[in-house]
Homo-oligomer: A and B are copies of this chain.
Amino acid sequence: MAGKEMHAAGSPCCADSRREQVIKAAADCFRQHGFHGAGMAGIAREAGMSVGHIYHYFANKEAIIAAIVQRDLADMLEKIAAFEAAEDVFRHLLDCVDEGVEMSIDPYEAGLWLEILSEASRNPKVSAMVSEADAIVRARFRNMLRNALQTGWVQDERELNGRVEIISAIFDGLIIRSVRNDDFDKEAIMRSLKMVMQYLLSA
Protein backbone atom coordinates (compact mmCIF):
# COMPACT_ATOMS: atom_id res chain seq x y z
CA MET A 1 0.00 0.00 0.00
CA ALA A 2 2.79 2.39 0.96
CA GLY A 3 4.67 1.23 -2.13
CA LYS A 4 1.71 1.97 -4.34
CA GLU A 5 1.40 5.43 -2.83
CA MET A 6 5.06 6.10 -3.37
CA HIS A 7 4.72 5.52 -7.10
CA ALA A 8 1.28 6.93 -7.76
CA ALA A 9 1.06 10.00 -9.98
CA GLY A 10 0.66 13.17 -7.90
CA SER A 11 1.70 11.22 -4.82
CA PRO A 12 2.63 13.28 -1.77
CA CYS A 13 6.10 11.77 -1.52
CA CYS A 14 8.05 14.96 -2.04
CA ALA A 15 10.27 16.44 0.64
CA ASP A 16 7.64 19.02 1.60
CA SER A 17 4.99 16.46 2.30
CA ARG A 18 7.46 14.26 4.21
CA ARG A 19 8.29 17.30 6.29
CA GLU A 20 4.57 17.90 6.88
CA GLN A 21 4.21 14.27 7.91
CA VAL A 22 6.92 14.70 10.56
CA ILE A 23 5.35 17.95 11.84
CA LYS A 24 1.95 16.24 12.11
CA ALA A 25 3.43 13.24 13.93
CA ALA A 26 5.40 15.48 16.29
CA ALA A 27 2.34 17.62 17.02
CA ASP A 28 0.41 14.43 17.87
CA CYS A 29 3.22 13.30 20.19
CA PHE A 30 3.53 16.70 21.90
CA ARG A 31 -0.25 16.71 22.44
CA GLN A 32 -0.29 13.18 23.85
CA HIS A 33 2.90 13.07 25.93
CA GLY A 34 3.99 16.69 26.32
CA PHE A 35 7.12 18.17 24.74
CA HIS A 36 9.38 16.50 27.32
CA GLY A 37 7.55 13.19 27.20
CA ALA A 38 7.82 12.99 23.38
CA GLY A 39 11.08 11.59 22.00
CA MET A 40 12.45 11.64 18.46
CA ALA A 41 12.03 7.82 18.41
CA GLY A 42 8.33 8.12 19.25
CA ILE A 43 7.87 10.85 16.66
CA ALA A 44 9.56 8.62 14.05
CA ARG A 45 7.26 5.72 14.97
CA GLU A 46 4.19 7.97 14.75
CA ALA A 47 5.35 9.27 11.33
CA GLY A 48 6.11 5.76 10.09
CA MET A 49 9.73 6.72 9.30
CA SER A 50 13.13 5.84 10.63
CA VAL A 51 14.71 8.11 13.25
CA GLY A 52 17.49 8.89 10.76
CA HIS A 53 14.90 10.05 8.26
CA ILE A 54 13.38 12.40 10.86
CA TYR A 55 16.82 13.93 11.56
CA HIS A 56 17.16 14.52 7.83
CA TYR A 57 14.33 17.06 8.14
CA PHE A 58 14.72 18.38 11.69
CA ALA A 59 17.79 18.62 13.95
CA ASN A 60 15.70 18.31 17.12
CA LYS A 61 12.24 18.78 18.64
CA GLU A 62 12.75 22.54 18.95
CA ALA A 63 13.24 22.76 15.18
CA ILE A 64 9.85 21.07 14.74
CA ILE A 65 8.26 23.63 17.07
CA ALA A 66 9.93 26.38 15.02
CA ALA A 67 8.21 24.96 11.90
CA ILE A 68 4.82 24.88 13.66
CA VAL A 69 5.28 28.49 14.82
CA GLN A 70 6.31 29.59 11.32
CA ARG A 71 3.28 27.93 9.77
CA ASP A 72 0.98 29.64 12.26
CA LEU A 73 2.70 32.96 11.53
CA ALA A 74 2.11 32.52 7.78
CA ASP A 75 -1.59 31.76 8.46
CA MET A 76 -1.96 34.87 10.62
CA LEU A 77 -0.26 37.12 8.05
CA GLU A 78 -2.57 35.73 5.36
CA LYS A 79 -5.59 36.60 7.48
CA ILE A 80 -4.29 40.13 8.11
CA ALA A 81 -3.66 40.53 4.36
CA ALA A 82 -7.36 39.73 3.82
CA PHE A 83 -8.27 42.48 6.31
CA GLU A 84 -5.95 44.88 4.50
CA ALA A 85 -7.67 44.09 1.20
CA ALA A 86 -11.20 44.40 2.60
CA GLU A 87 -13.36 47.31 1.50
CA ASP A 88 -14.85 47.74 4.98
CA VAL A 89 -12.17 46.60 7.44
CA PHE A 90 -14.32 47.23 10.50
CA ARG A 91 -17.12 45.06 9.08
CA HIS A 92 -14.70 42.35 7.96
CA LEU A 93 -13.12 42.20 11.44
CA LEU A 94 -16.50 41.72 13.07
CA ASP A 95 -17.49 39.14 10.45
CA CYS A 96 -14.37 37.13 11.28
CA VAL A 97 -15.02 36.96 15.04
CA ASP A 98 -16.87 33.64 14.80
CA GLU A 99 -14.07 32.06 12.76
CA GLY A 100 -11.49 33.38 15.25
CA VAL A 101 -13.40 31.84 18.15
CA GLU A 102 -13.64 28.49 16.35
CA MET A 103 -9.88 28.57 15.70
CA SER A 104 -9.06 29.32 19.35
CA ILE A 105 -11.27 26.60 20.79
CA ASP A 106 -10.36 23.79 18.38
CA PRO A 107 -9.39 21.07 20.90
CA TYR A 108 -6.40 19.75 18.94
CA GLU A 109 -4.91 23.21 18.31
CA ALA A 110 -5.68 24.39 21.85
CA GLY A 111 -3.79 21.45 23.36
CA LEU A 112 -0.87 21.86 20.98
CA TRP A 113 -0.51 25.60 21.67
CA LEU A 114 -0.76 25.16 25.43
CA GLU A 115 2.10 22.68 25.15
CA ILE A 116 4.20 25.00 22.96
CA LEU A 117 3.54 27.99 25.25
CA SER A 118 4.37 25.91 28.32
CA GLU A 119 7.68 25.07 26.74
CA ALA A 120 8.19 28.73 25.75
CA SER A 121 7.77 29.68 29.40
CA ARG A 122 10.84 27.64 30.36
CA ASN A 123 12.92 27.33 27.19
CA PRO A 124 14.58 30.54 25.93
CA LYS A 125 14.89 29.18 22.36
CA VAL A 126 11.18 28.37 22.08
CA SER A 127 10.38 31.63 23.85
CA ALA A 128 12.33 33.57 21.19
CA MET A 129 10.52 31.76 18.33
CA VAL A 130 7.11 32.49 19.80
CA SER A 131 7.93 36.12 20.70
CA GLU A 132 9.38 36.93 17.30
CA ALA A 133 6.31 35.58 15.50
CA ASP A 134 4.00 37.45 17.87
CA ALA A 135 5.88 40.72 17.36
CA ILE A 136 5.51 40.41 13.57
CA VAL A 137 1.76 39.71 13.83
CA ARG A 138 1.21 42.53 16.33
CA ALA A 139 3.07 45.10 14.21
CA ARG A 140 1.22 44.10 11.04
CA PHE A 141 -2.18 44.06 12.78
CA ARG A 142 -1.58 47.48 14.35
CA ASN A 143 -0.45 48.85 11.02
CA MET A 144 -3.58 47.53 9.32
CA LEU A 145 -5.81 49.15 11.95
CA ARG A 146 -3.88 52.45 11.81
CA ASN A 147 -4.44 52.66 8.06
CA ALA A 148 -8.00 51.42 8.00
CA LEU A 149 -9.82 53.13 10.81
CA GLN A 150 -10.70 56.83 11.08
CA THR A 151 -8.14 59.34 12.42
CA GLY A 152 -8.54 60.10 16.10
CA TRP A 153 -9.80 56.58 16.76
CA VAL A 154 -7.14 56.19 19.42
CA GLN A 155 -5.17 58.95 21.12
CA ASP A 156 -1.71 57.54 20.50
CA GLU A 157 0.38 54.49 19.72
CA ARG A 158 0.29 53.25 23.30
CA GLU A 159 -3.49 53.24 23.33
CA LEU A 160 -3.47 51.34 20.03
CA ASN A 161 -1.05 48.86 21.62
CA GLY A 162 -3.27 48.46 24.66
CA ARG A 163 -6.39 47.81 22.62
CA VAL A 164 -4.68 45.35 20.27
CA GLU A 165 -3.27 43.53 23.28
CA ILE A 166 -6.76 43.15 24.81
CA ILE A 167 -8.08 41.76 21.51
CA SER A 168 -5.14 39.33 21.40
CA ALA A 169 -5.70 38.40 25.05
CA ILE A 170 -9.32 37.52 24.34
CA PHE A 171 -8.54 35.17 21.43
CA ASP A 172 -5.55 33.65 23.24
CA GLY A 173 -7.67 33.42 26.38
CA LEU A 174 -10.35 31.43 24.58
CA ILE A 175 -7.72 28.69 24.14
CA ILE A 176 -7.59 28.42 27.94
CA ARG A 177 -11.33 28.92 28.42
CA SER A 178 -12.09 26.01 26.08
CA VAL A 179 -10.03 23.77 28.38
CA ARG A 180 -11.25 25.20 31.68
CA ASN A 181 -14.96 25.60 30.88
CA ASP A 182 -16.71 22.33 30.01
CA ASP A 183 -20.02 24.21 29.63
CA PHE A 184 -18.78 26.69 27.00
CA ASP A 185 -21.74 28.62 25.49
CA LYS A 186 -20.16 29.45 22.14
CA GLU A 187 -23.03 31.52 20.75
CA ALA A 188 -23.34 33.68 23.87
CA ILE A 189 -19.58 34.23 23.87
CA MET A 190 -19.54 35.19 20.20
CA ARG A 191 -22.30 37.74 20.80
CA SER A 192 -20.49 39.35 23.74
CA LEU A 193 -17.19 39.28 21.88
CA LYS A 194 -18.67 41.09 18.87
CA MET A 195 -19.92 43.82 21.20
CA VAL A 196 -16.49 44.17 22.77
CA MET A 197 -14.69 44.18 19.41
CA GLN A 198 -17.06 46.87 18.14
CA TYR A 199 -16.33 48.89 21.28
CA LEU A 200 -12.54 48.43 21.05
CA LEU A 201 -12.43 49.34 17.37
CA SER A 202 -14.48 52.52 17.77
CA ALA A 203 -13.43 55.90 19.14
Contacts and interface: CB of A to CB of B under 8 A. Distances in A.
Interface centre among A33, A122, A175, A185 (most CB of B within 10 A): A122
A118 B110 CA distance: 9
Interface in A158-203: 158-159, 161-163, 165-166, 168-177, 179-185, 187-193, 196, 199-200
Interface residues of A, number: 58
Contact of A115 (B118, B169, B196): B118
Nearest to A157: B188
A192 B117 contact: no
A165 B180 contact: no
A148 interface: no
Interface of A is mostly: helix
A33 B131 CA distance: 21
A25 interface: no
Interface in A1-46: 31-37
A118 to B, nearest CB: 4
A68 interface: no
Contacts of A117: 114, 176, 179-180
A178 to B, nearest CB: 9
A126 to B, nearest CB: 10
Contacts of A190: 162
A118 B161 CA distance: 28
A68 to B, nearest CB: 14
A117 B177 CA distance: 10
Interface string A133-145: 0110010000000
Pairs of residues from A and B, 7 with the lowest C-beta to C-beta distance, nearest first: A173-B173, A36-B37, A169-B173, A162-B192, A162-B188, A111-B121, A172-B176
